[in-house]
Structure 1
């Protein structure tokens, strides 16, 4: 898939509908919320990278304080900051604005707007199909933001390989703590 000049690849497969029961609606909602949060955290990292370009040297306390401030912002506020700092294609901006709208709808109104759908199998299947579309939307947005973010982070020596290595270290630390 292409968004502006970004080529988005390798999104995770989206599960198929199995039964259409209530638990499956909740499971797909959870997966959609997870991917919405991933896109939001990608924006946090993107804003953080741009903020670091403005600072000469930060000690650990300043770094954590800056990150905490950025991390407390909503998807919409983060997107607003990016729009004022970075020139993005109209197509990508439209995609991210759509992502924001859908993220907010998912978080605040999805179950309210679909309350009657929840009462029968056809309605629940329609809900799941909507959630599958949102899962794809949020994954594509996450990947697009990550691509842009990596361009800025590379200025600081942060590469995909470095990130993968750090994730492996954190996973090992988690497993060590879990097995202790």
Structure 2
């Protein structure tokens, strides 16, 4: 069974991109300030003012990043997605109330992505790709009666990525009408 955090509004991706943009800007500004400080040590000029300016700029960026993060969290903290061989369930966070239950035996088509993966933000390459609008969106689209329902979610671990891949393979074996996006 796959369990992930349900994204209630797709604005989440916009806020997430802004958060990572702030991270990227902080990384670049820290690099520039470190180069200036090293040059100051080499050529013997006072860098204390530059260091103070850097800390003020960093605090300002962190303030805005935290504000965006709080808005971003509102979109994912209220519900979870449970996906198994026959059902997709959207439940409240405390697992007591069922918001929505989709029986996969009654749907016309299921759209799944070719590749699901956990996005590793420890790599500079991934931060750069976020800057250029390439943040991964993880979702499944269920079509029933001509209506499409998109279910966005967040992976909590690599284990859940593998669980979802196993479930998709199980769907193929059961003969569900799958389409790769």
| Alignment TM-score, normalising by the size of structure 2 | 0.31
Normalized per residue, the structure richer in helix is 1
| Alignment TM-score, normalising by the size of structure 1 | 0.31
- Larger relative contact order, structure 1 or 2 (CA cutoff 8 Å, min sep 6): 1
Structure with larger Rg = 2
